[in-house]
Amino acid sequence: MESFDTIVKRLSENRLWQFPGGVKPQDKKALSNTHAIRRLPLPDCLYIPLKQHIGNKGSLIVEVGQRVLKGQPLTKASGPYSVPIHASTSGTVKAIDEHVSAHPSGIAEPTLMLEPDGLDEWIKLHPNPHYSQLDKSTLVELICDAGISGMGGAGFPTHIKTNNPQKLEFLIINGIECEPYITADDRLMREHAWQIRQGIDILQHTLNPKHIIVAVEDNKPEALEALRIACKDKPDCSLVSTPTLYPMGGEKQLIQVVTGREVPGKGLPSDIGITMFNIGTCFAIADAVFNGKPLIERVVTLTGEAVKAPQNVWALIGTPIAFLTEHAQLKSSKRYSQRIIMGGPMMGFTVTSPRVPVVKTTNCLLMPKASFAQPEDIERPCIRCSACSDVCPASLLPQQLLWHSKAKEYDKAQDYNLFDCIECGACAYVCPSDIPLVQYYRQAKSAVRSEKDEKQKAEKAKARFDARTQRLENDKKEREEKHQKAAQARQNAKANANDTATETTTAPKSAAVAAAIARAKAKKQQTSTPVLETEQKEPAQVDDKKAKVAAAVARAKAKKAASSNAIESEEKLESNTEAPQQTEVDDKKAKIAAAVARAKAKKAAASNGVEPNEKTAPTIETTQQTDADAKKAKVAAAVARAKAKAKAKAEKNAE
Partner 1 sequence: MTLAIFITGTLALLFGLLLGYAAIRFKVESDPLVEQVDSLLPQTQCGQCGFPGCRPYAEAIANDGDEINKCPPGGDATIKKLADLMGVEAKPLNAAHGEDAAAKTIAYIREDECIGCTKCIQACPVDAIIGAAKQMHTVITDECTGCDLCVDPCPVDCIDMINVPQTSSTWDWKESIQPETLIPVKVVS
The contact set with partner 1 (CB under 8 A) reads 25-26, 28, 101, 103-105, 107, 109, 180-181, 339, 341, 345-350, 352, 368, 372-373, 375, 377-378, 425, 428-429, 434, 436, 439-440, 442-443, 446-447, 450, 454, 457-462, 464-465, 467-469, 637-638, 641-642, 645
In the complex, minimum distance from the CB of residue 391 to partner 1, in angstroms, rounded to a whole number: 12
Looking at beta carbons only, is 108 or 487 nearer to partner 1?
A: 108
Looking at beta carbons only, is 116 or 318 nearer to partner 1?
A: 318
In the complex, minimum distance from the CB of residue 218 to partner 1, in angstroms, rounded to a whole number: 19
Task: Tell me the backbone φ, ψ of residue 370, rounded to 5 degrees.
Answer: -80, 5
Q: Are 151 and 88 in contact (CB under 8 A)?
A: no
CA distance 291 to 199: 12
In the complex, minimum distance from the CB of residue 329 to partner 1, in angstroms, rounded to a whole number: 20
> How many residues in the chain?
655
Count CB atoms within 10 A of the CB of residue 66.
11
Q: Are 223 and 182 in contact (CB under 8 A)?
A: no
In the chain, the largest separation of any two C-alpha atoms, in whole Å, equals 137
Looking at beta carbons only, is 375 or 580 nearer to partner 1?
A: 375
In the complex, minimum distance from the CB of residue 344 to partner 1, in angstroms, rounded to a whole number: 9
| Omega before 393 within 30 of 0, i.e. cis | no
Looking at beta carbons only, is 407 or 596 nearer to partner 1?
A: 407
In the complex, minimum distance from the CB of residue 221 to partner 1, in angstroms, rounded to a whole number: 21
Looking at beta carbons only, is 165 or 375 nearer to partner 1?
A: 375
In the complex, minimum distance from the CB of residue 332 to partner 1, in angstroms, rounded to a whole number: 22
Looking at beta carbons only, is 134 or 447 nearer to partner 1?
A: 447
Which residues are paired to 246 by β-bridges?
Answer: 23
Helix axes of 578-620 and 627-654: crossing angle, nearest 10 degrees: 90
If 0-12 CB within 10 Å is exposed, 13-18 middle and 19+ buried, where does residue 75 land? buried
Looking at beta carbons only, is 381 or 580 nearer to partner 1?
A: 381
In the complex, minimum distance from the CB of residue 29 to partner 1, in angstroms, rounded to a whole number: 11
In the complex, minimum distance from the CB of residue 642 to partner 1, in angstroms, rounded to a whole number: 4
Q: In what order do the strands lie in the sheet with 364-366?
A: 38-39, 311-316, 297-303, 364-366, 341-342, 349-350
In the complex, minimum distance from the CB of residue 428 to partner 1, in angstroms, rounded to a whole number: 5
Count CB atoms within 10 A of the CB of residue 146.
25
Looking at beta carbons only, is 101 or 195 nearer to partner 1?
A: 101
CA distance 614 to 654: 43
Looking at beta carbons only, is 199 or 348 nearer to partner 1?
A: 348
Looking at beta carbons only, is 218 or 411 nearer to partner 1?
A: 411
Q: CA quadruple 271, 277, 278, 281: dihedral positive or negative?
A: positive
In the complex, minimum distance from the CB of residue 182 to partner 1, in angstroms, rounded to a whole number: 12
Chain centroid to CA 369: 40
Chain centroid to CA 652: 42
CA distance 350 to 365: 10
CA distance 330 to 413: 42
Helix axes of 193-207 and 184-191: crossing angle, nearest 10 degrees: 90
Looking at beta carbons only, is 26 or 576 nearer to partner 1?
A: 26
In the complex, minimum distance from the CB of residue 584 to partner 1, in angstroms, rounded to a whole number: 38
Chain centroid to CA 255: 33
Instruction: Print burial letters for 554-588: b (CB count within 10 Å at least 16), e (below 16).
Output: beeebeebbeebbeebbeeeeeeeeeeeeeeeeee
In the complex, minimum distance from the CB of residue 327 to partner 1, in angstroms, rounded to a whole number: 22
Looking at beta carbons only, is 400 or 439 nearer to partner 1?
A: 439
Looking at beta carbons only, is 37 or 347 nearer to partner 1?
A: 347
In the complex, minimum distance from the CB of residue 450 to partner 1, in angstroms, rounded to a whole number: 7
Q: What is the 3-state secondary structure (H, E, C) of 192-244?
A: CHHHHHHHHHHHHHHHCCCEEEEEEECCCHHHHHHHHHHCCCCCCEEEEEECC
